[in-house]
Chain A
């Protein structure tokens, strides 16, 4: 029982981590919170659902479809909601927050118009296959989710630390102007970051569909809010913080549902944020800046 719950928690945590990575990448480079990330993720999930359940294509193709859809939405988001604000000098740091909130509301209600408010079944072809290891049952779906999320996290870490583009991205995150002076095309880097983060959102969307077997137009909001909680918990802009925070949140939610008041499951994330902000405002893996404020 305990082990099975732990596996459920890690599976959920892996998905949370991927969602949170989308936020943390954009925050690290642009210094803004992309409130529309949850909704881009939701559209990724819907595209995946349409491909798997309605068009009957194999799962990997569905992943590619979701990635393509989410990435192009990221491109549009950057083009129409973020870049115009970057060009204006002296724009308040709240402007981009408000602008992305606008995009998120727009997308959520567009999904409501297109797909309706009900749940959509997300059928995974191998949803019934499971393994028995002693008394513990592991579903193939869970193993696949865990594998994919680990692969993505490892890939992202390698890309950021080893490749030229990854280094350029880190330089841009470190200091936009200096990176620009050193010959990094920062505008392209910023667009690339938003697109990559959105593509990861698309993958996360399909993973959520696989994990819960259904999706609706509200998962963007609920998963998005958790992603926000995780990046505050793990430290804004910290890649490893997002991974660790996602796993911790997934595990604690699963155990609260199993052994505690299940109704408060969705509140855990926020109680955590409030406590973290009070005790350690820079987050688990974040670095404190000079004046003590995050």
Chain B
């Protein structure tokens, strides 16, 4: 791929999603965008780039962005954050919100839904402690295609075997031919919505917990800082933000602090519950 074409295509993706593609990611562009080019009757990425210059078509730009921002995910990815949520964060929230009995959780960049459904199953397993509670799980992504898949709750045999304990498969899934579908009671706990993290997040309301794992790594420094600052604004003062293992707020956003002893968890610098949660 020549440099101008790379600049054009990666520029579209960057403007629309914040995702930064460096030249070492050319292979990724090729593997994701060649199928898209073919769908439009074009043979190569050079043809696709020319088509984009000619038409400046917004739908084409959306399709390119969507193809590049779809990322792999699986149930209970990395395990540890879910243990921390269950053992440290949830007990704190149940205690401090016991009078209003509501919880709002946001999975930013949820991809095909495994993370919000993992949270939903985890909460369902804790149902005995949560009688009378109203829990809202909002799951968002920039790609409509992954959101449609997420809503359907249908997963392949391969997908249900990565991270999902067999007991939970037995309890919360039904076999549908070659696929497995997560139970409607779990699906009903999660609301899916298209949200671009580069745009305003204020309309989403305020959250007690935000999961935004393995998203910031794809952004440049400035975009990371903006997204973190916007998330901070819609977090409860004693709320928890979960980032991925290779991500941090340090040196990027001083409104948030890491929580000591809870790896990957960040909380507002002015609030900071989690010290209290012990």
Q: Do A and B bind each other?
A: no
